[in-house]
Amino acid sequence: MDEHRIGLQPILRRIWAPTGQLLVCPVPPRSEWRYIYAFVCPESGHSRIWLVPEVSNAAYQAVMAAFATRVAAGADHHILVVEDGAGFHVSADTGLLAGLQRVTLPPYAPELQPAERVWQLTDATVANTCFKPLAALMETLGQQCAWLETQHDLLTHQTLFHWWPLCRNSSESISPRAERLCSGMPPLTRRTFRPALASAVRSDTWRTVPAGRSMFSTIRGVRTHARRYGTGLHAPIVIVPGLGCASWMYRRLAHLLAASHTVWLYDPPGHGLSAGHLHNANHPDQLTEHLAQWVEATALQGTALLGHSLGAEVVIQLAARFPHLSGPLIACAPTGIPENPAIHLQVGHLLQDLPRERPGFWPWCVSAYVRAGPLRFYQLARSIRSQTVLPLLALVHVPVLILTGSEDRVVDAQTVSNLMGRFGHVTAVQVQGAPHALTDRNAAEICGRTQQFLSAVAQR
């Protein structure tokens, strides 16, 4: 929570101008002000913003009361408010409304206040503009603040610092230690603020969190990366990338699924942010065994697995070889059906499919392929040549959803649909107009079909 003063003194920002041309902006100097009180949850991006005529103890208490009402704070619903040590804030001895606890930032530490970064967004709409009446400024600023309250992802991107502790999925009230922090502990120092706040946050009010956090684990001596999104309201989902792909290529889909699931974006050895040598990531069998050990190490047995391209082959092989580790499967544009072509044909099909992808997706593809390297790409492409997953599908005993794109030049959607008719536990769906990277261009439809499929499986 933070306050910000804004008024008829114009906010100046640099702008482009023709070379040699002097820009002149006449400004009548006036000193009329209003104040913005903003509450923002960095993790979820939820916010509450008020425009107030003054900063004072009375205004502070009025805004706090309005905030407590808006978020339904109470004896069984605790909210932790992180604020600076401004003199007009109510002292700890005075106390706050039921359900609101405070943590005061250390002195002279504005970089620790995430809400400070909201002012860049509020000021942007009034910068380089001279408002004559104060009412005109308030109208423009009010519209901007109302819009910001709907931009959860933007506020998360702006305020979620790397050290900010994510909320636990818990229905318990605030911990006794948090109560001690909020009711009389000495001022926190920089060194103690982060662990104190991490132990104090227990509120599950704003849990719909699309923000991600990278996690690393060592599997068979290989430092393995996975990025976790979401809050765990429903069963988790693990996304397994395709040949040469990386976790960052699936962020659009992860953000959509994270509204209702915990999503793990997994990087195979030698891909994305995972380490790996050429000898331990050059065959689908090795990728499958590594994924199986990672699933066990992360305690994700029975989790739904969503694989794309070669990743779909890997999750099908995992379900066949390690049935105790696999939950329902979602195979997006799976290769190996009926079989993979020669290497030069694989590369040719990828190049034909590239113009059908979203242009904004191309830089992510290039960075992922550069990270994997041409030698690893060649080794994996050679190892899957003439390989098919059809015999493995017969050994899989969990429900399988196969999603293909009608515009895919790598996987023949019609052939896949025809062949899947022989398996009773497999459902094949063709996404109209989708290319090979349907997890990016058609992320919304893939998310919807995945949630529908998992809901149907849960009801069986």
Where along the chain do its domains lie? 2-200, 212-459
pLDDT in tens, the chain (460 residues): 899 998 888 787 777 667 787 777 777 777 888 899 999 998 888 899 999 998 888 888 889 889 988 888 888 888 888 888 888 887 655 656 778 888 888 877 766 788 888 888 888 888 878 888 888 888 888 888 988 898 887 888 788 876 677 654 433 333 333 333 333 333 333 344 444 444 433 333 333 334 578 888 888 889 999 998 876 556 789 999 998 899 999 999 999 898 888 899 999 999 999 998 777 677 888 899 999 999 988 888 889 999 999 999 999 999 999 999 999 999 998 888 766 666 667 777 777 777 888 888 888 989 998 998 888 888 888 887 767 777 888 888 899 999 998 888 888 777 777 776 677 888 889 998 888 889 999 999 999 999 999 989 888 7
What the block records as the tokens of 27 is 């400004």
Contact, 213 vs 280, CB < 8 A? Answer: no
* DSSP string for 356-410: GS-GGGHHHHHHHHHHH-HHHHHHHHHHTTT---HHHHTT--S-EEEEEETT-SS
Could you give the CA distance from residue 437 to residue 352 in angstroms, rounded to a whole number?
12
Contacts of 188 (CB under 8 A, 6+ apart): 103, 104, 105, 106, 181, 196
Q: From the centroid of its chain, how far is CA 356?
A: 25
Q: Looking at the domain that runs over 212-459, which CATH code has it been given?
A: 3.40.50.1820
Residues 100, 336: Cα–Cα separation, whole Å = 56
Question: Options 3.40.50, 3.30.70, 1.25.10, 3.30.420; which CATH number does 2-200 get?
Answer: 3.30.420
Task: Write down the pTM of the prediction.
Answer: 0.56
The residue count of the chain comes to 460
Topology agreement, domain 2-200 and domain 212-459: no
Comparing CA positions, the residue from 405, 370, 360 lying closest to residue 246 is 370
